[in-house]
Amino acid sequence: MDKVIGSAAEAVADIPDGSTLTVGGFGLCGIPSVLIQALLDAGVKDLEVVSNNAGVDDWGLGMLLTAGRLRRVVASYVGENKEFARQYLSGELEVELTPQGTLAERMRAGGSGIAAFYTRTGVGTQVADGGLPWKYDDQGNVIKTSPQKPVMTFDTRDGEQEFVLEEAIVGDFGLIRAWKGDRHGNLVFRDSARNFNPLAAMAGRVTVAEVEELVEPGDIDPNQVHLPGVYVHRVVPLTPEQAADKRIEKRTVR
């Protein structure tokens, strides 16, 4: 039951090239920065990443991106990363943009054993109709687009409405960060870090959690557990310095 791993390097050592990763975080809040650095140091490449965003140019997933380690990104927001835009438009990176709530539910469904679900989001747009550019060539021509998705009509409380079918997401590995965790993998998140971390954890076949504060089993009130340990396979306790190393995405001053 003790899932604690001695180092981030050891925790990601078996992640091979070509893996699909579900990665927690919201902007730069709650990102598993220590695990990402360990992946960078390990030289793992050709990765597909599923995450709300792709970090910024010099932090988070942006470090893997800048090093040329990512082949495909499934995300909902990528507006703060110039290198991301450059790679996407020059044909170096495949990108599947997904509505934020849909992305969250696709990961939750993957962790819950639900193969697919219907949602109103995207009906009547290219999200459902297909044709969104997923990949360009080096001349700026679109060479791969999103497929058309099944649409069905259901009788709802607001009458008959159309819904689009979205498939669940399951990753080979999930990488997340928690504020507090015990040796059994029960986790607690703080504020916006709770948005995508639990979902990324659920969707990973093997989930690794870096925790800012490691406590003993029983120290966390069961009513305060945000993610039960059944979804977590490895726990990496951070040093105080690692836990305190957090970036601000946009600094605003008067």
- Could you report the per-residue pLDDT of 100-156, keeping only the tens digit for each? 999 999 999 999 999 999 999 999 999 999 999 999 999 999 999 999 999 999 999
Q: Between the CA of residue 130 and those of 39, 199, 204, what are the distances in Å?
A: 33, 26, 27
Enumerate the domain spans of the chain. 8-112+169-244, 116-167
What's the pTM value of the predicted model, to 2 decimals? Answer: 0.94
pLDDT at 94: 98
Residue 247 has pLDDT above 90, yes or no: no
Give the number of other Cβ atoms within 10 Å of residue 224's Cβ: 9
Question: H or E segment at 64?
Answer: helix 61-66
As a whole number of angstroms, the distance between CA 140 and CA 124 comes to 27
Residue 230, helix vs strand vs coil? helix
Residue 254 pLDDT exceeds 90: no
Could you tell me which CATH number the domain at 8-112+169-244 has?
3.40.1080.10
